Structure 1
Amino acid sequence: MLAIVCLIISTWPLAAAAHGGSSGSQAGIPIPSLSHGEMAVIAPYYGRIISLAESASDTDETFRRLLNFAQIQRVYCLWGMMPGSTSDEESPFNECSHAYLAAGKAVLLQMRTMKDEKAAVGDIVSDIDTALVRNNLSLTLCKFSGESFNTADLIRPKPADVILHAKSLATIVAAGLVVIAALWLTARAVRPPPYP
């Protein structure tokens, strides 16, 4: 268990700034902010957006950098699997979820100008717009709603915040216990039977 905690802590450098905006280099591509309501609606479409973007042929450097940022940022958010990462403003994974979903939205908007993807992108944009209006979510805000991002600055959850957030900590501990149990069962299964 200590090894799992050390591994998690080593993947999030403590010296790294956790906020976009004024911290770090601004040499990257700016990514507009995303409201909390937009984030909740775009999250279910993220896979379709990225899948379509990966198959796009008419790309440029800006598009590829936005796509790369969205994919890397999502990994830092543990693939969006942490409970409350998109719905709980207090989750240590909420800010990084804002970042990867804002990048996903930027990728989607970039694809609107591509000939081959225009129809599929139009369908996704229409679905997202409809969901925003139907659920009255376009103006739902949280403390990260006004924060813009930059491809030069990855947003990482702070380990101390993860430890203090009960749902996040419980999920990580449960995942660690499942891994340990699986390793133990595998070791028992491959161990040769004792000789009489």
Structure 2
Amino acid sequence: MRLRDVPRNLALLLCVFTASFAGPADAHNSRAPLNTSGLPIANLTHGQLHVMDRYRNAIVDLAARQVSPDVETRTLYNFVNLQFAYCLWGLVPGALTNEDNPFNGCSHAYLAGSKALLDQLQRSSGDPAKANELASRIQSDMLRENTALQICSNGAAPLNTGEIILPEWAGVPFNPLKTLLIFIGICILTGLLLAGFRKSNKEAA
């Protein structure tokens, strides 16, 4: 590939990559997952979301301490951590309390994944006592807080480890990820253009 073709090809790739963040990402997950190649995950009601948020760290820590986890446990563990990172580690205000928040859909994903991970630990762990204890505490909290009655539109459809739920970037006034990508792309393209210009001058000389 010729050097002068690199900026044009890179620009095309950058546009495609950036477009994946610029458009709606179905964060408000009211549909069935398009990719069902992974493990199915039951969604949560709005009330269950708040309970699971209190126990997510304990569940992930317990999963990380498993000596020989099975494939399903590893898959769910990776899904929860990846989904949590995509949802900016749960740091966005109102992500759990407001179902219209652009990050509410991805919050459902990593917390529902945490519940599925705990269920899997109960089934597959060599010593399920701690998993059973966590599950019992979570169940008690859910019953006490009547979480099943607190319905949320983002909890209507099931999830799947084969499909990551991204935040609804179109609903965010300032998109830091998109801005960063554009800035990096401009810097790369500028550098390549300057390198190509200098090479052309040397060849002409």
TM bin, normalised by shorter chain, reads: 0.7 to 0.9
Query: Percent identity, aligned pairs only?
Result: 34
Alignment pair present for 1:59 and 2:69? yes
The structure with the largest helix share of the pair is: 2
Per the normalisation by structure 1, the TM-score is 0.72
Match of 1:161 among 159, 167, 171: 171
Q: Which runs of 5+ in 1 are unaligned?
A: 1-8, 164-168, 173-196
CA distance in 2, matches of 1:124, 1:138: 19
* 1:134 to partner: Cα distance: 1.5
Match for residue 14 of structure 1?
A: 22
Q: What's the counterpart of residue 60 of structure 2?
A: 50
Structure 2 spans left out of the alignment, 5+ residues: 1-16, 177-205
1:74 Cα offset (Å): 0.5
Following TM superposition, by how much is the alpha carbon of 1:126 offset from its aligned partner in structure 2, in angstroms?
A: 1.3
The 1:102/1:11 distance shift into structure 2, 3 A limit, reads farther
Give a deviation string over 1:26-68, Cα, whole Å, max 9, x none. Answer: 2111111111111110101000000000111242112111110
Give, as a single letter, the amino acid of the residue that structure 2 aligns with 1:113: R
DSSP 3-state at the match of 2:147: coil
Deviates more, 1:71-80 or 1:114-123: 114-123
Query: Match for residue 99 of structure 2?
Result: 89
Contact kept? 1:46, 1:101, Cα under 8 Å? yes
Residue in 2 aligned with 1:135? Answer: 145
* Farther off after superposition, 47-56 or 119-128: 119-128
Is the CA contact 2:32–2:158 (under 8 Å) kept in the aligned structure 1?
Answer: no
Task: Tell me how far 1:114 sits from its aligned partner.
Answer: 3.4
Correspondences of 1:112-191 after superposition (within 5 Å): 112-163=122-173
What's the offset of the Cα at 1:18? 2.1
CA distance in 1, matches of 2:95, 2:88: 10
User: Which AA in structure 2 matches 1:18?
Assistant: D
Report the Cα offset of residue 17 of structure 1.
4.2
Alignment of 1:98-113 (within 5 A): 98-113=108-123
The CA distance in 2 between the partners of 1:93 and 1:12, in whole Å, is 16
Against the structure 1 CA distance between its residues 128 and 22, is the aligned structure 2 distance closer, same or farther, given a 3 Å change threshold? closer
TM-score, length of structure 2 as denominator length: 0.69
Aligned residues: 159
**Structure label with greater radius of gyration:** 2
RMSD between aligned residues: 2.5
Report the CA distance shift for 1:70/1:35 in structure 2 as closer, same or farther (over 3 A): same
Task: Tell me the equivalent position of 1:39.
Answer: 49
Instruction: Name 2:40's counterpart in structure 1.
Output: 30
The 1:160/1:16 distance shift into structure 2, 3 A limit, reads: closer
CA gap of 1:11–1:114, structure 2 versus 1, over 3 A, is farther
Contact 2:41-2:159 within 8 A present in 1 as well: yes
